[in-house]
Amino acid sequence: MGLVTATTDRVTIRNFAEFASLIGAIAASGFRRFWTYRQATVAALATNTMFGFLRTYVMLAMAALTPVVAGYTGPQLAAYVWTGQGLLGVVMLWGYADLADRIRSGDVVTDLLRPIHPVLNYLAVDLGRAAHGMIFRFLPPVAVGVIVFDMYLPQDLSTYPLFAISVLLAVIVCFACRYLVNASAFWLLDHRGVVMVWLFVSGLFGGLYFPIRFLPQWAALLIWLGTPGPSMLQAPMDIFVERDPFRVQLAIVGVQVFWAVLMLWACHVVQRRAERKMVIQGG
Amino acid sequence: MKVIEARGLRKEFVVRVKAGAIRRQKRVVAAVDGVDLAIERGEMVGYLGPNGAGKSTTLKMLTGVLMPSGGDVRVCGFTPVPQRVKLARRIGVVFGQRSQLWWDLPLGDSFDLLRHIYRVPAAEHALRLDRCRDLLDLDAFMQTPVRQLSLGQRMRGELTAALLHGPEILFLDEPTIGLDVVSKQAVRGFLAELGEKGDTTMILTTHDLADIERLCQRIVVIDHGRVVHDGTIQALHDRYRSRRRVIADFDEPIQTDIRLPGVELESSTGTRLIFAVDEVGPLISQLTQIGSLRDLSIAEPEIEDVISRLYLSS
Ligand SMILES: Nc1ncnc2c1ncn2[C@@H]1O[C@H](COP(=O)(O)OP(=O)(O)OP(=O)(O)O)[C@@H](O)[C@H]1O
Ligand SMILES: [Mg+2]
């Protein structure tokens, strides 16, 4: 039973339109929900921007030593930092505990009482949240970067749609990873250990702390192909700064597709196992 | 046609209990221990039992969110856990202590989302929503975020949410918990009207026996995970020989030795005599003869009494 067939018995055009409107409605609810957290958005934006300055100065100090660092020029590194600071709030690397909270309180029971696959339901909400993030968490820091620094902007028109697709895939890959981290609460009611590991590993493999391509090529390749890390954050950043020719950009997106499918499938399997053995907390 | 059928339904939980400073011992407790249930379409069944009896656990298994440890269940012809998504379209559920509404969004938005999730045609949805708005007085808070609703307001929202897709079976786990008298009556009246139409099956757990008296002809009582009574309230009264009471007040302190078949003197304190009786008539004609009768009242057997006798005896 795949993700789609779980909710639509036979895919027809009418079904598909219904399905799209279902996803749209749930995503819109995610968008509106985050719209109500305005203070939190402003606070996160301020933090991300501040760290953006710190990280740009570190990167520029490096770029001052050699004109090209691991294939990135100074302006490209600035763009890498600022798109990263913005995408952090779009893919929502950290601070996602919706599912784990609901597992711990037992409210997850109401998710299961709905005729929709829980992974699909949570994903749709997350897409709405990401759309909100794109406007309110991504654009402001990137604007700051462009205004304050000599920041690289894509020269090739084809980069823009590719970047949009890559961001969407990054959100899906990151969502799936977060879902798995949260779902560990089905087994471990105290899953803080898992969250700690995630906090560290996601920033590192995602390429937030430094571009994965600073590492020796074999290590970079291993992380890129062997973990979902770069696909959930660094991929759209590398596409934005046009570090690679179009072919390689396409390959990066291809790897993202692979990880998106694989991780969603993992969520589906984990969810099914959880439902078979789980105990809903509370009367 | 039977819409719910359970045979030998069981659920065991593994709990770890302290045994010494660090050592934990595993213990298996059977929360539901071989429940048999057969419920026909349109029935309204009260599912009763003391705290911890296994009521909520049973409902979780019937609605497909908890895997049974043993036994067979069919609900609407489906096996609940494996066919949960299909089953979800056919049932409505209210867990009184939880919300199925979207916490940060206005109440009306939740209803709109549910229409998409259950894929209810717009016209059908509007019709049902209008009815609920009427009967449950929702209009005043349709635009209020759910987290700002009072418990009573929220519960009316929950009931509406459970009904918008026209479910065949309604599972209600303590739907009147924490509500004031007026809200309770609103909820009961609403459910009663729904039940009268006869096409919705309802299974209701509650600790407020007035809910049961108002709504359910049939009650199933469980204790320690086992069914201890399944039948009408009258059958329960018969089983425990619940009797009406006659309370007689006299002008002067009085002693009596009335002996009639089916009449028992329960207490005599000064001017007041209390009898438990099967038939009222013969006693009253006697009472008027033994002294000057000032006041007389007859009390129907209390459901509370009979239920508590049942809980205590099992
Ligand atoms: N997640 C769980 N883990 C371990 N034991 C549980 C769990 N959930 C319930 N139980 C146990 O199962 C038994 C039945 O619980 P249940 O919630 O079904 O009772 P109930 O009849 O709904 O009671 P109440 O009237 O208090 O709501 C209780 O003894 C409870 O301690
Ligand atoms: Mg309960």
Q: Which residues of B touch A21 (CB under 8 A)?
A: 116
Task: List strands edge to edge, sheet with B2-18.
Answer: B24-40, B2-18, B70-75
**Tokens for A21?**
């409107």
CA gap B36, B226 in Å, rounded: 9
Per-residue confidence (pLDDT) for residue A124, from 0 to 100: 97
Interface test with B, best of A111, A114, A116 (most B CBs within 10 A): A114
**Cα A282 to ligand 1 centroid, rounded to whole Å:** 7
Tell which atom from ligand 1 comes closest to the C-alpha of A280. 1
**Residue nearest ligand 1's atom 6 by CA:** B13
Per-residue confidence (pLDDT) for residue A3, from 0 to 100: 42
- Mapped onto helix, strand or coil, the DSSP state of residue B71 is strand
Same domain, B295 and B207: no
Closest ligand to the CA of B222: 1
Q: What angle do CA B218, B222, B224 make, to 5 degrees?
A: 180
Report residue A11's pLDDT band, with 50, 70 and 90 as the boundaries: low
CA distances from A55 to A81, A83, A208, A231, A232 (A): 7, 12, 10, 21, 20
Indicate the average pLDDT of chain A.
91
Is B57 a pocket residue for ligand 1 (Cβ < 6 Å)?
yes
For residues B13-22, average pLDDT:
81
Same domain, B185 and B138: yes
* Minimal C-alpha gap between A120 and chain B (Å): 11
CB contact under 8 A, B81 and A276: yes
Per-residue confidence (pLDDT) for residue A6, from 0 to 100: 43
CB contact under 8 A, A109 and B65: yes
CA gap B184, B251 in Å, rounded: 41
| Per-residue pLDDT tens digits for B168-207 | 999 999 998 888 888 888 889 999 998 888 889 999 999 8
Is B52 a pocket residue for ligand 1 (Cβ < 6 Å)?
yes
Q: Which domain holds residue B308?
A: 243-313
CB contact under 8 A, A112 and B64: yes
CA distances from A40 to A47, A95, A276 (A): 11, 12, 37
Q: Is the pTM of this model over 0.90?
A: no
Q: How many domains in chain B? A: 2
- Which candidate, B221, B230, B231, B233, places its Cα nearest to that of B58? B221
Same domain, B305 and B233: no
Residue B312 pLDDT > 80:
yes
**Cα B71 to ligand 1 centroid, rounded to whole Å:** 19
For residues B65-94, average pLDDT:
94
For residues B157-173, average pLDDT:
95
H/E stretch holding A121 reads helix A118-133
CB contact under 8 A, A113 and B112: no
- Mapped onto helix, strand or coil, the DSSP state of residue B195 is helix
CA gap B78, B185 in Å, rounded: 34
Which residues fall within 8 angstroms of residue A282, CB to CB, at 6 or more apart? A105, A106, B97, B98
Q: Which amino acid is at B270?
A: G
Q: How many helices (H) and strands (E) does chain A have?
A: 13, 2
Same domain, B249 and B275: yes
Residue B163 pLDDT > 90:
yes
* Minimal C-alpha gap between A7 and chain B (Å): 8
Q: Is A196 on the interface with B (CB under 8 A)?
A: no
Q: Is A40 on the interface with B (CB under 8 A)?
A: no
Which residues fall within 8 angstroms of residue B277, CB to CB, at 6 or more apart? B243, B244, B245, B246, B262, B263, B264, B283
Residue B252 pLDDT > 90:
no
Same domain, B280 and B303: yes
Is B183 a pocket residue for ligand 1 (Cβ < 6 Å)?
no
Q: What phi and psi values does residue B66 have, to the nearest 5 degrees?
A: -140, 130
| Per-residue pLDDT tens digits for A202-253 | 999 999 999 999 999 999 999 999 999 999 999 999 999 999 999 999 999 9
For chain A, the domains span 2-281
Q: Is A12 on the interface with B (CB under 8 A)?
A: no
Same domain, B116 and B249: no
A184-218 as b/e: b if 16+ CB within 10 A? bbbeeeebeebbeebeeebbebbbbebbbbebeee
Interface of B with A in 58-97 (CB under 8 A): 60, 63-67, 81, 84-86, 88-89, 93, 95, 97
Q: Is A9 on the interface with B (CB under 8 A)?
A: no
Same domain, B51 and B183: yes
Same domain, B27 and B78: yes
Tell which atom from ligand 1 comes closest to the C-alpha of B32. 14
Which residues fall within 8 angstroms of residue A254, CB to CB, at 6 or more apart? none
Q: What angle do CA B191, B197, B201 make, to 5 degrees?
A: 65
Same domain, B108 and B217: yes
Confirm whether the ipTM is greater than 0.90.
no
- Residue ranges of alpha helices (H) inside B63-204 are 84-90, 107-117, 122-136, 151-163, 181-196
Report the CATH number that the domain containing residue B277 is assigned in CATH: 3.30.70
Tell which atom from ligand 1 comes closest to the C-alpha of B174. 27
- Mapped onto helix, strand or coil, the DSSP state of residue B76 is coil
**Cα B177 to ligand 2 centroid, rounded to whole Å:** 11
Task: Name the closest residue on chain A to residue B146, using Cα atoms.
Answer: A33
Domain boundary among B208, B238, B268: B238
Of the candidates A37, A112, A114, the beta carbon closest to that of B117 is on A114
Domain boundary among B219, B238, B257: B238
Is A109 a pocket residue for ligand 1 (Cβ < 6 Å)?
no
CA gap B8, B35 in Å, rounded: 5
Domain boundary among B203, B238, B273: B238
Residues A260, A265, A268, A273: is their CA dihedral positive or negative?
negative
Which residues fall within 8 angstroms of residue B230, CB to CB, at 6 or more apart? B37, B218, B219, B220, B221
Same domain, B36 and B139: yes
Give me the torsion for CA of A256, A240, A200, A258, rounded to 10°: 0
Which residues fall within 8 angstroms of residue A206, CB to CB, at 6 or more apart? A93, A229, A230, A232, A233, A234
* Minimal C-alpha gap between A138 and chain B (Å): 23
H/E stretch holding B139 reads none
Q: Is A109 on the interface with B (CB under 8 A)?
A: yes
Report the CATH number that the domain containing residue B234 is assigned in CATH: 3.40.50.300
CA gap B157, B145 in Å, rounded: 11
Indicate the average pLDDT of chain B.
90
Per-residue confidence (pLDDT) for residue A280, from 0 to 100: 67
Same domain, B50 and B33: yes
